[in-house]
Amino acid sequence: MDHNTVLLFAGIGALLLLASVIGRLLKWRAGGGPHAVIDNLNARINAWWVMVLVIGIAFLFGKYGVIVLFYCVSFYALREFMTLTPTRRSDYPALVAAFYVALPLQYLLIAMDWYGLFSIFIPVYLFLLLPILASFGGDTTRFLERASKVQWGLMIAVYCVSAVPALMTLDIPGFEGRNLLLIAWLILVVQISDVLQYVCGKLFGKRKVAPNLSPSKTIEGLLGGVALATLIGASLCWITPFSFWQAALMALTVNAMGFFGGLVMSAIKRDRGVKDWGHMIEGHGGMLDRIDSVCFAAPVFFHFVRYWWA
């Protein structure tokens, strides 16, 4: 692990320590009794410690550590997605293909650096193969709807998420051997934008930005969170191949994508009548609740960097 990575993780550790102290102080000031918002805040902070630790361990193992980490992220996300979107008995072969073929192959192709295939494997080959498999069951009930669900789940949970470890495959002149930092930058900026939108929303939030889709998102939270996260992304340009202004524009792009990703995933949840995708991350909900913004930001970020820098 190079000097910059250590520095970055030390900074994140300090930030989390500060958050933990503030969380405990709020709890103490509230009298120590049960308090929904503060307890949830502390649960979220504790979960952040675990998530940062897991990412840190994956980083220690370099490229393959990151690939294995995001393979697991994709698996849990796909599982939550498919659990919540009902399919019928005839979809079994398509679901088997999704979980046991598409998911491992996508990450294998990334490990093999095979850009020509991993960039089209799910959007082209699986897109055609999955409905073929579903048609073998001979069940026409809501066929298009079912085929779309499986394909959409794969795109979001596997294809989009895999764009994060795919950053390891880019050859950026003058940035050799430091691609892990690009991943760290992307995750940090997108996630800190989520956190700051939450914090700004809780502190100053008044006007709802999309009451039907996500009642907790406010205009004040959105503007404050995105502005601060963009500033943080820009001031971290020293760990990226970008200049200050390039980093600011990139940060603004991924933050905007992340915000809209949150809205889209929220619309699906609300349509299915649930508040969270799952329960695996205490205080946050499911895996998809935590990474919805990354799903939308990562592919755009990957292709922007590939087009302009690699």
Partner 1 sequence: MLTALTAFAITSAARLITGARALWLGCTPQPVQRLYFANHSSHGDFVLLWASLPGPLRQRTRPVAGADYWAKPGLRNFVIRKVFNGVLIDRQRSEVQANPLQPVLDALSGGDSLIFFPEGTRNLGDEPLLPFKSGLFHLAAANPDMEVVPVWIANLNRVMPKGRALPLPLLCTLSFGEPLQVQAAEDKHAFLERARQALLNLAPKEV
Contacting positions for partner 1 (CB under 8 A) = 75, 79-80, 82-83, 86-87, 89, 92, 95-96, 99-100, 271-273, 278-279
CA distance 195 to 112: 34
Per DSSP, what are the bridge partners of residue 149? none
- Please give the backbone phi and psi of residue 110, each rounded to the nearest 5 degrees, phi first: -70, -40
Nearer of residues 38 and 268 to partner 1, judged by Cβ: 268
CB of 277 to partner 1, least distance (A): 10
Report the residue number, 173 or 273, with the smaller CB distance to partner 1: 273
Q: How many CB atoms are closer than 10 A to CB 255?
A: 27
Cβ nearer to partner 1, comparing 24 with 272: 272
Rounded to an integer, what is the distance from CA 188 to the centroid of its chain? Answer: 11
Residue 282 CB, nearest approach to partner 1 (Å):
14
- State the minimum distance, in angstroms, from the CB of residue 132 to partner 1: 18
Cβ distance to partner 1 smaller for residue 34 or 273: 273
Q: How far is the CB of 108 from partner 1 (least distance, A)?
A: 19
Residue closer to partner 1 by CB (options 80, 194) is: 80
Q: List, as own/partner pairs, every contact residues 138-144 make where C-beta atoms lie below 8 angstroms and the sequence separation is at least 24, other chains included.
A: 138/90, 139/88, 139/89, 139/90, 141/88, 142/88
Closest to partner 1 by CB, 90 vs 218, is: 90
Least separation in angstroms between residue 124's CB and partner 1 is: 24
Residue closer to partner 1, measured from CB, 61 or 100? 100
Cβ–Cβ < 8 Å for 162, 74:
yes
3-class secondary structure, 285: strand
Q: How far is the CB of 199 from partner 1 (least distance, A)?
A: 30
How far is 112 from 44, CA to CA, in rounded Å?
A: 36
Q: Which is nearer to partner 1, 3 or 89 (CB)?
A: 89
Q: How far is the CB of 290 from partner 1 (least distance, A)?
A: 16
Rounded least distance, CB 36 to partner 1, Å: 19
